[in-house]
Structure 1
Amino acid sequence: MPDDTAPTTEPAAPARKIIHIDMDAFYASVEQRDDPALRGRPLAVGGSRERGVVAAASYEARVFGVRSAMPSVTARRLCPDLVFVKPRFEVYKAISAEIQAVFAEHTPIIEPVSLDEAYLDVTENLQRLATATEVARAIRAEILARTGLVASAGVSYNKFLAKVASDYRKPDALFVITPAMGPGFVEALPIGRFHGVGPVTEAKMKRLGILTGGDLRARSLAELQAIFGSSSGYYHGVARGIDHRAVRAHRIRKSVGAENTFSEDTTEFAVLVERLQPILDKVWTVCASKGVTGRTVTLKVKFSDFEQITRARSLSLPVASRESLAHISLGLLRDVFPLRRSVRLIGVSLSGLQHGAGEEPRQLGLAL
């Protein structure tokens, strides 16, 4: 495998060795590890057969199209034999701490993204291994030995490409994108596989004829600014294999939120309430998985003419349950009525985050 110490595409930028670690179907894999009867079966963590959303899906379920954040009813329709299990976030957090301990043996520069995902800067690694690829290989082996779980790793010279690499051949994969490979690799990459390009932006890009990284690279910065505003600089850079973001150790999350753009606009309160439910499920699942809650609930509403409003309520104590979050969010939604225009997007976020008593806010992170 090529040496990953070659210079980056921009000589002025410091050369980095970045690893992105992503546990394969983490919650589902933990459940299958702990209950042999679940192994080899299509499994969804979270939700139920009647309501809620899927927090995680096993690879056996993904074959049927089941994905995280999917309504349980949809998942069951795609896979009638799908097994639903309740999440055990305390177990997941304990295993995550074991994984963090493995990271810390190789580098102090760890940026957690979630319980099962992180960036690591191993430009200088504590074990003095020759390449970032060797570090990633050692980390994957140690995680498997200690937890019985499989991690995929992406190795590259920046965060964007490391993230792309970890997902490129999942599951159970180690993939390296060297500086020499980077620009050409991005050029052929489908736009939907760009980290930071969500479904709505992907659809917008495709309507504009931007199907690959090469198509994105062909657009000037001025064109991208006119279309994508503040995100244009990021898109312009990564289309060329450039991403100067550093791995930020101990990054503190300021809020947890989710939103949904509708395929059809609506003015009906009952319809908005129904569409709000999976958003609330997703927000609360993320809060539970990270061990956080917050004091301020914010409702975001975007109308058919793209005007956007927010309504917020701050409490003296953190929101204690999903039911409480729903009660406050629905109250904020009622305050928006009566409507003069139809709604195309709705979202909820929780801010003023607090962690468990006696614990400092923290996140997991991975490196090459």
Structure 2
Amino acid sequence: MSVRAMTVLEGSSESQPRKIVHVDMDAFYASVEQRDDPSLKGRPVVVAWRGARSVVCAASYEARQFGVRSAMPALRAERLCPQAIFLPPDFPRYKAVSVAVREIFSRHTDLIEPLSLDEAYLDVTTNKSGLPTATKVASRIREAIRQELNLTASAGVAPNKFLAKIASDWRKPDGLFVIQPHEVVEFLRDLPIGRIPGVGKVTEQSLLQAGIRTVGDVRQKQLPELEAVFGRFGQRLFRLAQGIDHSPVVPNRIRKQISAEDTFPADIPLRETEEALRKLAKKVWAASSANARRARTIVLKLKTAQFETLTRSMTPLAMPSTEEELAMAALSLFDRVEVQQDSLFRLVGVGLSNFQDEEDPPLFQPLLEACSVETA
């Protein structure tokens, strides 16, 4: 199937390509810390709790020069950069800055799809500020973030979300990169396959073993050939290789789950996780109280000392009406955890899922985390 035939088949409007901007704050958590404490400027800052089980939430670009990255164990970060300044994360402060950034976005469009505190998609095909191009919108947003918040952001401009996200990372930090519709094929041809969003290390290895190293290599494959090897992902890979992504920018995306989890300093028996579970239930209950939709399902998450993840869930006829009832319901799921009596656990989590509107009939099916790792 040709690219043109596929585009027509999927109902794309070739006459009016969309204008999508992806904005990604630069080393967001660490940059906020450096902004608020001038003594940290130019120094390697790592946002993380200290401890054997902690992971890096964010690293300043000065720390990244030593190989420190988000989601890395904090102990490894400390070995790579002994001179790094470790700061515990302050999520309420980061969220407040994120709200200010989003207010800047809203001056230009109401079609804003946040992905996290530090990044979002914007559809500016028609913008509120009357600027003639999406590039000018992105430039105006970046300038406002710099002038009003004393922070920097990188942005990508492209005809769809897939390309805009890649573009925003192209000239980080503090960069702007634009992919025009007529440049898509050439831009993608030599792009390493690992740069495609959603292609992790395991999938990348599978693609490399199949002789696919660049997006251009994917374009040499037929759709049935990709489907035979990669299943449904083969379909998505085929479309992305053509630069096709019709997914819209979705404001106010419905939250599927509210959860909280905690990693212990040392592995402990199941029953000793109760105190932590009760504290997590309190956090989840507080977060869920602000949600206009109600949950139907309670979820317990455990991770063993051997890193095996166990989840148990229940959908009661009547959901808990207090945080204590939520904690008790989660604790009751312990009885469904089949492990050896001497088993030890490194993590416990509590969640609410299967959210529905109040008027929906009953069905019979993370906001707060130990560390919310930023994306860039």
| TM-score, normalization by structure 2 | 0.71
1:207 positional shift:
2.2
1:88 positional shift:
1.1
Quote the residue 1:118 is aligned against. 120
Quote the residue 1:262 is aligned against. none
User: Which letter does structure 2 place at the counterpart of 1:316?
Assistant: P
**CA 1:161/1:244 → structure 2, altered by over 3 Å: closer, same or farther?**
same
Question: Would you say the 8 A contact 2:59–2:68 is kept in 1?
Answer: yes
1:108 positional shift:
0.8
Quote the residue 2:364 is aligned against. none
Alignment of 1:1-368 (within 5 A): 10=7, 12-14=11-13, 15-255=17-257, 296-297=298-299, 299=301, 311-312=312-313, 316=320, 331=334, 335-337=337-339, 350-352=351-353
User: Which letter does structure 1 place at the counterpart of 2:72?
Assistant: M
Q: Which has the higher contact order (CA 8 A, sep 6+)?
A: 1
Distance 1:96 1:244 in 2: 27
User: Which letter does structure 1 place at the counterpart of 2:247?
Assistant: R
1:92-139, CA deviations, whole angstroms, 9 ceiling, x for partnerless residues? 111111111111110011111111100000000011111100000001
Quote the residue 1:342 is aligned against. none
1:156 positional shift:
0.2
Percentage identity across paired residues of the two chains: 48
Which 4+ runs in 1 deviate beyond 6 A?
A: 270-273, 291-295, 317-320, 327-330, 346-349
Distance 1:255 1:205 in 2: 32
Query: Secondary structure of the residue that 1:316 maps to in structure 2?
Result: coil
**CA 1:221/1:77 → structure 2, altered by over 3 Å: closer, same or farther?**
same
Distance 1:310 1:185 in 2: 42
Question: Would you say the 8 A contact 1:28–1:58 is kept in 2?
Answer: yes
Structure 1: tracts of 5 or more residues without a match: 1-6, 259-269, 274-279, 302-307, 339-345, 355-360, 362-368
Query: Secondary structure of the residue that 2:12 maps to in structure 1?
Result: coil
Segment drifting more, 234-243 vs 196-205: 196-205
Quote the residue 1:304 is aligned against. none
Distance 2:49 2:201 in 1: 23
RMSD of the TM alignment (CA)? 3.9
Distance 2:322 2:23 in 1: 32
Question: Would you say the 8 A contact 2:19–2:158 is kept in 1?
Answer: yes
**CA 1:300/1:204 → structure 2, altered by over 3 Å: closer, same or farther?**
farther
User: Which letter does structure 2 place at the counterpart of 1:130?
Assistant: P
Distance 1:229 1:319 in 2: 43
Question: Would you say the 8 A contact 2:300–2:333 is kept in 1?
Answer: no
Query: Secondary structure of the residue that 2:182 maps to in structure 1?
Result: coil
Count of aligned residue pairs for this structure pair: 310
1:309-333, CA deviations, whole angstroms, 9 ceiling, x for partnerless residues? 853357837989xxx8xx979958x
Segment drifting more, 224-233 vs 21-30: 224-233
Query: Secondary structure of the residue that 2:34 maps to in structure 1?
Result: helix
Question: Would you say the 8 A contact 1:42–1:58 is kept in 2?
Answer: yes
Question: Would you say the 8 A contact 1:151–1:172 is kept in 2?
Answer: yes
